[in-house]
Amino acid sequence: MGFCPMAEFLERMQSFMHKYVFDVLAEIRPVDILDILILSVLIFSIFKFIKERRAGRLALGLGIFALILIVSVALNLKAMKYILENFYQIGLLAIVIIFQSDLRAALEKVGNTPIRTFKKNFTESDFNSTVELAEIISDACNKFSAERTGALIVLELETKLGDYMSQGTIINADTSVEMLRTIFYEGTALHDGATIIRNRRIYASGCFLPISQADVNKDLGTRHRAALGLSEVSDAVVIVVSEETGTISIAKDGQLSRFYTYATLKQAIVEYLAPEEVRRERQKNMRRNLKRGMKDE
């Protein structure tokens, strides 16, 4: 008699596997495989977005509840199944309300993702101007770091940042070390906000950026959270100089990289602003010219 519950359990598991696994696999069509691939990409994108955010813990909890629900269905635990099914019906609405800021950030990220159908012609002059801009920003940030001057500099890429610019002061001036140092001088009215650079020109200063809700190091202040916040909803490159430590950081795609020097910051800016194929072509030309020079000698 002691083996009856075990036999009944095995029979239920066998029925569950046939109904939800083997029978499903037997009826899979090519379009179903495509459906699964698209869903996999979607799930991966959602996981990548929420893993560093408050919603990440919630997703883990929902996953545990889903696993318990599957087990309750397989074992025909009616009371547990009833409770969990009702929880999902009501809980999903509660999740949308509680995490509306995270969901809004995700939708903004999708909406701001550029669809690149035509590539802009990036000339030699554009590359030289990009290198010059990188040198100016790196020089200014290096001075800010040495002087413990806080700074928040945004490099606009494909996603337009007009909403944030309109909240600040329009400057539309050439980018220079002197201009950046004037803006972020502690005595000026614009030093607390962000400076946004568009088309290699200082377009606006004193701009307010969205604050990230991600879990970050407690030592990081409002500037770093603002940098992360903008990088989560746009493709902008955001450079931060800590007022307390002088540490230079870059926020990009919701990730914060720290401890840049003049050289590494300049290299990073060029890599973000100049197309990869242009940089590769220049490297090839430099190696080709170097070989020619060696042959001439």
**What is the per-residue pLDDT across 179-208, written as a single tens digit (0 to 9) for each?**
999 999 998 999 999 999 999 999 999 999
Yes or no: say if 210 and 217 are a contact pair by the CB < 8 Å rule.
no
- Over residues 91-115, the mean pLDDT reads 64
Q: For the chain, give percent helix, strand, coil, nearest 5.
A: 60, 10, 30
Which is higher by pLDDT, 28 or 257? 257
Q: Look up the pTM and report it.
A: 0.67
Its sign, for the CA torsion 119, 162, 110, 151, is positive
Domains of the chain: residue spans and CATH? 4-112 (no CATH), 130-284 (3.40.1700.10)
pLDDT of amino acid 1 = 45
Q: What is the dihedral of CA 111, 112, 117, 122, to 10 degrees?
A: 180
Its sign, for the CA torsion 78, 82, 85, 87, is negative
pLDDT of amino acid 240 = 98
**Mean pLDDT for the chain overall:** 83
